[in-house]
A and B are shown apart, each in its own frame.
Chain A
């Protein structure tokens, strides 16, 4: 049997049990270079390309892996923008002018 209807999957339409739901087509961070983005605090809210106007991805981290400062953090394959330990922010990713 190939198809199953499960309320929590595929918006209720028949799905293939072995496959995860189809991802949407929105890009996931971190994005590729040269892609326009809209972030209200930059370029008066108009689309911009981060590399052109000198906006970079700055990572603040007090997390270490061995002796290396952690610059990217993933959980279950998802890129993480911030992490907390004992209610303290120990890792964060921000767009700032660099």
Chain B
């Protein structure tokens, strides 16, 4: 590979051989950069994908993409990346990377997994990940205090800034998309289907679990496969912190009541016309640690109001509009 592995002169990855050589050429202080799109559909990994080893300080996508990941392990864990840094609690920074055509099927599914049960941090900047087909073949068992989520396993803490995530997910039982993460300036879209709902604790059930999220928004839909009694469903868990956030959610089936938990520091709005299409009851902060200001900050708006910058400013949600 060209380059020296430094921040000023990173190793340049041009093909899948370079990508998978990171185990040998990488290290906790080594920097890599993509120099081309990597289409795994035209490599030996097309038939049998192996998780991409990340052993580095920084991995820059340079606007290039890694695409055509197809991993079907109905009895195992399916993940895109495995972090194998030597130092526990080291941070891997990934920027300007695009993931496209990602198909993951497994008992557990992650974008990032820890290779040797060491704890790591992942920092994402200006990344765009499309998880086109994610299928959980089991209820991704969560024991007390262990919080898996779609984007990483329990050994990893993630923070994102100016990122885009889209995911089509089929659950056996619902499961967080994000857990314990710090999410900033990020847009999220998800279409979820589930056979059933996990009901032991909202931290293992809500799409946003124990996250701190600001200047971001989420568009998502959820429906239940087949029939069954409807449930109350938490949009977020009790340990979440929200500021400058909005949500457009369509509950298609399986849920009769939705509620929010968490600390809502600034006005947080949702599109009530979209949410109310199929459900009967919306509760706000029906849980412990709710304060009157948290409750006041959750606003159900009409679709027209959601798209009106002047109206949003009038209710305390800072937004510029046509005057830009």
Contact B68 A31 (CB under 8 A): yes
Complex: A32 Cα to B215 Cα, angstroms: 34
Contact with A25, one of B72, B191, B271, B321 (Cβ below 8 angstroms): B191
Q: Which of A33-66 contact B (CB under 8 A)?
A: 33-35
Of the 9-residue stretches B83-91, B110-118, B163-171, which lies at the interface with chain A?
Answer: B163-171
Complex: A56 Cα to B162 Cα, angstroms: 38
Complex: A74 Cα to B100 Cα, angstroms: 15
Residues of A within 8 A of B164 (CB): 19-20, 22-23
Which of the four size classes fits the interface of chain B? Answer: 35 or more
B130 on the A face (CB < 8 A): yes
Kindly report which residue of chain A lies nearest to residue B187, judged by CB atoms: A22
B259 on the A face (CB < 8 A): no
Contact with B101, one of A6, A18, A28 (Cβ below 8 angstroms): A28
Contact A5 B47 (CB under 8 A): no
Contact B187 A16 (CB under 8 A): yes
Which of the four size classes fits the interface of chain A? Answer: 20 to 34
Rounded to whole Å, the gap between the CB of A70 and the closest CB of chain B is: 15
B223 on the A face (CB < 8 A): no
Of the 9-residue stretches B138-146, B148-156, B200-208, B312-320, which lies at the interface with chain A?
Answer: B312-320
Contact B47 A34 (CB under 8 A): yes
| Chain A, interface SS category | loop
Residues of B within 8 A of A12 (CB): 307
A3 on the B face (CB < 8 A): yes
Rounded to whole Å, the gap between the CB of B296 and the closest CB of chain A is: 20
Query: B36-75 CB contact bits vs A (8 Å, 1 = yes)?
Result: 0101111000110000000000000000010111101000
Kindly report which residue of chain A lies nearest to residue B248, judged by CB atoms: A13
Contact A2 B166 (CB under 8 A): no
Contact A23 B166 (CB under 8 A): yes
Once A12-B307, A16-B185, A26-B132 are accepted as A-B contacts, the answer to whether A32 and B320 lie under 8 Å apart by CB is no
B263 on the A face (CB < 8 A): no
Contact with B321, one of A4, A23, A33 (Cβ below 8 angstroms): A4
Complex: A77 Cα to B132 Cα, angstroms: 18
Complex: A96 Cα to B271 Cα, angstroms: 46
Contact with B320, one of A5, A19, A24 (Cβ below 8 angstroms): A5
Contact B306 A13 (CB under 8 A): yes
Complex: A25 Cα to B128 Cα, angstroms: 12
Residues of B within 8 A of A30 (CB): 39, 41-42, 68
Complex: A1 Cα to B318 Cα, angstroms: 7
Contact with B324, one of A6, A16, A25 (Cβ below 8 angstroms): A6
Interface residues, chain A, with chain B CB atoms under 8 Å away: 1-7, 10, 12-16, 18-20, 22-28, 30-35, 74, 77
User: 16 interchain pairs (CB within 8 A)?
Assistant: A7-B322, A13-B271, A14-B307, A16-B185, A16-B187, A16-B215, A22-B166, A23-B128, A23-B130, A25-B133, A27-B133, A30-B39, A31-B68, A32-B41, A32-B103, A33-B41
Interface residues, chain B, with chain A CB atoms under 8 Å away: 37, 39-42, 46-47, 65, 67-70, 72, 100-101, 103, 128, 130-133, 162-168, 185-189, 191, 215-217, 219, 244, 246, 248, 271, 306-309, 312, 317-322, 324
> Ordered nearest first, which 3 A-B pairs have the shortest CB separation?
A32-B70, A2-B215, A32-B68
